[in-house]
Amino acid sequence: MRVLVIGAGPAGMRCAEAAATRGLAVTLAGAEAALPYDRVALGRVLSGEAEPGALITHDARTLRGLGIAYRPATHVTAVQAGTATTARGETLEFDRCVLATGSEAVRLPLPGAEMAGVFLYRSIADVQAIRRHVVHGTRAVVIGGGLLGLEAAVSLSQIGARVTVVHAVGWPMERQLDAPAGALLAQQLGATRRLRFAMPAKTEAIEGAGHVAALRLADGSRIPCDLVVMAVGVRPHVALAQASGLAVNRGVVVDDAMRTSEPSILAVGECAEHLGTVCGLVTPALAMAEIAAATLAGDVAAYAPRPDTAALKVSGIAVWSAGEIAPADAEAVTLTDEEAGHYRRLWLREGRLVGAVLYGDTADAPFYLDLMARGRPVAPFRAHLAFGARFAEAA
């Protein structure tokens, strides 16, 4: 059976590898020019800790060894029964096709957003472009204080930029952290990484004559800068699925076996929408890829989502969260050790853990994740729950 995987990000690569290992004839077509690489580790290239080549996960020899025909710089524009068309006008034939087109970074539609010196943070090409613009003392603004924005800000600071993070909400990573944990994080990033924060702050325009000179905020203040990185979120890449007539909501709608509305076409990773949810992390994207490979091989397999977890990849800063954060209808258990800079808050509904934030000490993350994933009642050890696995399990 000939399988065409479209998109060579982590999900596409994993699906191609798993399908090839099961003896299927796989072609992997990706829009990016690079060999498949570890997107999650891009911050290490931005910070100068790694060369771009170090992120490559599968070189040409490995791909050949797996029997995968790799086609880089191949943008697929349409898929119909059995054939895909590329932007260069080629036709690729297949029996089954997998969309793994991932997400694109959102560019805020601000005045000045297209100016030189404004960058996105999604691909190796983006990171290389940013690096070409940074010298010691460059004044950088990162718009967006989520996971990616903070990682970009820390990496920029590591290569000598003076960085301000502009964030619309009152504390960073508000989707993963509650306000007290967010405040601890901002304080620690300021003290240890010299990051400045403007929050809550709304960006109104990027000013400059041909090149970025300042960011104007809604309150009229200006932040002079030489470089702007937008890290304000991603949206699923669904243009190809739409052009091909597949059912699309926010993402390409898939069933448990990763089949789209056209059963010969599957979708995996961040472009796929399963049970109304689009994933934004690599672990579920890879899990979907494995399920799709099994489906392609004729096995019965079903994707079962697990609670999302988030961890910041900044050395010396231990922060982790999972599940629902500060839901209004849950009770909270809080443990704080101000001296040590430790904070943890757990949310319970109907006697079960539904969300957790750990700051300063994240050693118990696997324990809490397991409780959530299995929906285990916590009543037998509730009094010890906040102290972690060692105490709860001894109770």
Q: Which is nearer to ligand FAD, 264 or 334 (CB)?
A: 264
Q: What SS3 string covers the chain?
A: CEEEEECCCHHHHHHHHHHHHCCCEEEEECCCCCCCECHHHHHHHHCCCCCHHHHECCCHHHHHHHCEEEECCCCEEEEECCEEEECCCCEEECCEEEECCCEEECCCCCCCCCCECEEECCCHHHHHHHHHHCCCCCEEEEECCCHHHHHHHHHHHHCCCEEEEECCCCCCCCCCCCHHHHHHHHHHHHHHHCCEEECCCCEEEEEECCEEEEEEECCCCEEECCEEEECCCEEECCHHHHHCCCCECCCEEECCCCECCCCCEEECHHHEEECCEECCCHHHHHHHHHHHHHHHCCCCCCCCCCCCEEECCCCCCCEEEEECCCCCCCEEEEEEECCCCEEEEEEEECCEEEEEEEECCCCCHHHHHHHHHHCCECHHHHHHHHHCHHHHHHC
Which residue, 151 or 174, is less far from ligand FAD as judged by CB? 151
Residue placing its CB nearer to ligand FAD in the complex, 214 or 271:
271
Min dist. Cβ of residue 340 to ligand FAD (A): 25
Q: How far is the CB of 191 from ligand FAD (least distance, A)?
A: 23
Could you tell me the smallest distance in angstroms from the CB atom of residue 212 to ligand FAD? 21
In the complex, the smallest distance separating the C-beta of residue 86 from ligand FAD, rounded to whole angstroms, is 8
What is the rounded distance in angstroms from the CA atom of residue 145 to the CA atom of residue 148? 8
Q: How far is the CB of 144 from ligand FAD (least distance, A)?
A: 12
- For the CB of residue 72, give the shortest distance to ligand FAD in the complex, in Å: 10
284 versus 388: smaller Cβ distance to ligand FAD = 284
d(CA 56, CA 73): 16
Q: How far is the CB of 91 from ligand FAD (least distance, A)?
A: 14
Q: Which residues pair with 256 in a beta bridge?
A: none
Nearer to ligand FAD, 22 or 71 (CB): 71
Q: How far is the CB of 320 from ligand FAD (least distance, A)?
A: 12
Choose between 3 and 385: whose C-beta lies nearer to ligand FAD.
3
- Contact residues toward ligand FAD (CB under 6 A) are 6-12, 29-32, 39-40, 42-43, 75-76, 100-103, 121-122, 148, 237, 240, 269-270, 280-283, 285, 313
Q: Which is nearer to ligand FAD, 153 or 201 (CB)?
A: 153
Q: Least Å distance between CB 12 and ligand FAD?
A: 5
Residue (233 or 341) nearer to ligand FAD, CB = 233
Which residue, 128 or 221, is less far from ligand FAD as judged by CB? 128
Q: What angle do CA 384, 320, 169 make, to 5 degrees?
A: 115
Contact 81, 243 (CB under 8 A): no
